[in-house]
Amino acid sequence: MTAPEIRPRRRLLGVYWRRLRRRRAALIGTAVFVVFLVMALAGPWLTPYGYSDQSPDRLEPPGWPHLFGTDQFGRDIFSRVVAGAQGVFFLGGSATILAVLVGTAIGLVSGYYGRFLDEIIMRVLDVFLAIPSLLLALVLLATLGSSNLNLILVITVLYVPVLARVTRSMVLDLKTKEFVEAARIRGERSGYILFREVLPNALAPLLVEASIRFSYAIFLVASLGFLGLGAQPPSPDWGLQVNEARGWFATAPWMLLFPAGAIALLVVSTSLMTDGLRHVLQPKGAER
């Protein structure tokens, strides 16, 4: 309470770090996530081979020089797994960011202005939420055709309703708070109230939700790749790799295990990180 005069923001980061330090699972999750992130950013410089380089060593088991073994074309699976991270992060990341931006905007407007507009927006979003997401993605991609842009747009469309609902529920709670009423009493414009009073207080839960969405997006990208609606050969997409490796599972199980393991590891580490994020940003009891 009687804190010395320090800029509040630095203090806050210190508090965050202290809270995170005590959650080992979250720390490990974050560390693994960062490893994948480095793979995505620095992929080509990390791998010994190009992801489509073929060599005479076909169906080589894990060992040296092929850490994760090779596939039926003699491509290095380690290089392909590392290279695949980029696509996952790019597709999942941009879809998540886009969904957060659009979803937040819709949620803010719908929650703040309420009444008729809210009713219409929410019913439309309910329609999207009612359709199973993978099914909707399949239908949309099958009609639109498969491309990176379409993939991102489809995932965005899938996630906007959820993010809009999360934002809306935050706004509904925040707009009855007395500090928002105080802003109305002094005649602030709606824009100021939405972006300066309401949004900053909704950011923490939104960040957590975005992180959850990202882990789902990884899964969705991989699923669509596996079903052949995402990336096309010879792309190192993990889902695609798993699909291609299906026929070789009896003779060369490593072809399937490593990309599938990468998907699982990234999804799990992202959710562990999310968990830590939630703990750091919204500790129990400290914030209402």
Partner 1 sequence: MSSNPRGRSDSPPGLSPMGSMDTVLDIRRLCIAYETEGKSLPAVRDVSLGIAGRQSYGLVGESGSGKTTLALGAIRYLAENGRITAGEVFFEGRNLLELPAREVRSVRGNRVGMVYQSPSTALNPSIRVGSQVAEVARRHLHMGKAEARERALHMLEQVAMPDPEAVVRRYPHQLSGGMLQRCVIAMALITDPRLLIMDEPTTALDVTTQAVVLDLVAELKSRLDAAILYITHDLAVVARVCDRVGVLYAGEMVEEADLRTLFSRPRHPYTLALLGCIPRYRVDGRRGRLLTIPGRIPHLDELPSGCVFAPRCPLAEEACRASRPPLREIGEGHLSACRRFTAVPTPAAYVEDIESAVDWEAVSLGEERLLEAHDVEQHFPMRGNLFAGKARRKAVRAVDGVTLYVNRGRTLGVVGESGSGKTTLARALIGLEAPTAGRVLFEGEALGGTTARRSRTVLKNIQMVFQDPDASLNPRHPVGEAISRPLYLLRGVRGAELRRKVRELLAAVNLPAAYAERLPGELSGGEKQRVAVARAFAAEPKLVLCDEPLSSLDVSVQGSLMNLLHDLQVEQKTAYFFISHDLAAVQHLSDWIAVMYLGKVVELGDALQVLNPPYHPYTEALLSAVPVPDPGVRQSTIRLEGAVPSPLDVPPGCRFHTRCPRVLGDICRTQEPPWQEGPGSHWLCCHIPCSELEALQGPCLLSVCLEDEGG
Minimum CB separation of residue 188 from partner 1 in Å reads 7
Helix (H) or strand (E) holding 172: helix 148-174
Interface residue with partner 1, options 124, 182, 232, 251 (CB under 8 A): 182
Q: Which stretch binds partner 1 (CB under 8 A): 4-12, 96-104, 133-141, 146-154?
A: 4-12
- Contact (CB, 8 A) for 24 and 63: no
Measured at the alpha carbon of residue 24, what is the angle toward residues 82 and 166, in degrees to the nearest 5?
80
Contacts with 200 (C-beta within 8 Å, 6 or more apart), sequence order: none
Touching partner 1, residues 9-38 (CB under 8 A):
18
- 162 vs 280 by CB, closer to partner 1: 280
- 37 vs 177 by CB, closer to partner 1: 177
Touching partner 1, residues 190-249 (CB under 8 A):
196-197, 200-201
Contacts with 38 (C-beta within 8 Å, 6 or more apart), sequence order: 46
Minimum CB separation of residue 276 from partner 1 in Å reads 18
> What is the distance between the alpha carbons of residues 205 and 203, in angstroms, rounded to a whole number?
6
# binding residues, partner 1 (CB under 8 A): 23
Contacts with 16 (C-beta within 8 Å, 6 or more apart), sequence order: 280, 281
Minimum CB separation of residue 286 from partner 1 in Å reads 9
Interface residue with partner 1, options 113, 188, 205, 227 (CB under 8 A): 188
Say whether residue 3 binds partner 1 (CB under 8 A).
yes
Nearest Cα to Cα of residue 49 among 88, 9, 76, 87: 76
- 56 vs 178 by CB, closer to partner 1: 178
Peptide bond into 205 cis (omega under 30): no
Touching partner 1, residues 141-180 (CB under 8 A):
177-179
Question: 122 in helix, strand or coil?
Answer: helix
Interface residue with partner 1, options 10, 115, 186, 284 (CB under 8 A): 186
Question: 70 in helix, strand or coil?
Answer: strand
Residues at the contact surface with partner 1, assessed by CB under 8 A: 1-3, 5, 7-8, 18, 177-179, 181-188, 196-197, 200-201, 287
